Amino acid sequence: MENSSPRLWTYTPSNSPVALPKQPLLYHPNELVPLEFPRNTAEQTLSGKLLQDYCGSFTSNSHTVHDLLQAFDEAPMSERRPFLLLGELANPYRLQDIGLGSMPIFTTRISGLCRTYADALDNREVKPGVHHITLARTEGWWESAHLGMATVEQMKRMIAWLDQGRKGTWRPVKPAEGSLHFENGLLPSPLLDNVSWDGAKEVVESPAPAFTGCEVDLSTVMVAVHTQHGCYDNRGRLARCVHIGQREFHEKMFRRGSSKKWNDILDIV
């Protein structure tokens, strides 16, 4: 764990969204509690109560997430739903700014989907601003991501923060493609050289590492996608966060191309 306080967590706009948790944790506005994976891995794909129970069985010093939420007087797991946290929504520093209550955050792997930059700029706090992260398909791709178990009110608050007062800029959706697994440990993503491009479609042809955790039914997971302009179109290719940092993207790519419509890059339920 990097720091025990959300306010001390590493955050600079030029690094967004790099400084994210490397292990599961329970976020609380005043404290970050590191979590350990359950000893038993579920055999079936998780959703609904099965997912709530599994997430609630993560532990910290013999106390389960169920116990910790009760101790913090926060909403129980039974009132929480899965929400894929992209970019700053997984950063404890930012979550405290948004005013979110306690939320368990888990390390996961997304497959067939990638994190990429929205074709927009948030300059509320710094100049020139921060590019937030949206979701797009890439055949054969995999990378680390974060899953939060959030209340409906927390989901609304995160979407409202992304919207910047312009309702409908971001939309909560459930993906109808790709897969999601819990991931225990560091996960190297494909290199840029591993992504082939035929002028119309990008495909990763190298084999993915073996899964280290159970699968979550991604069609039951909510994620915020940028619907105003979609993602940045780098001459037909995607600008993936794994391959290009925030500052490099802004200085070398932003406003030098076009955008891909959100419903052209992701199928939803």
Long-range contacts of 163-172 (CB under 8 A, 24+ apart): 164/122, 164/124, 166/228, 168/227, 168/228, 169/120, 169/226, 169/227, 169/228, 170/224, 170/225, 170/226, 170/227, 170/228, 171/224, 171/225, 171/227, 171/262, 172/222, 172/223, 172/224
Give the Cα separation of 192 and 240 in Å (integer): 9
pLDDT digit string (tens) for 184-222? 999 999 998 999 999 889 999 899 999 999 999 999 999
Cα–Cα separations (whole angstroms), residue 112 to 146, 147, 186: 16, 16, 18
pLDDT digit string (tens) for 29-71? 999 999 999 988 888 999 999 999 999 999 999 899 999 999 9
pLDDT the model gives residue 3: 47
pLDDT digit string (tens) for 223-259? 999 997 778 787 888 889 898 887 777 777 776 666 7
Task: Note the pTM of the prediction, 2 decimals.
Answer: 0.93
Cis amide prior to 17 (ω within 30 degrees): yes
Enter the tokens of residue 208: 């993915």
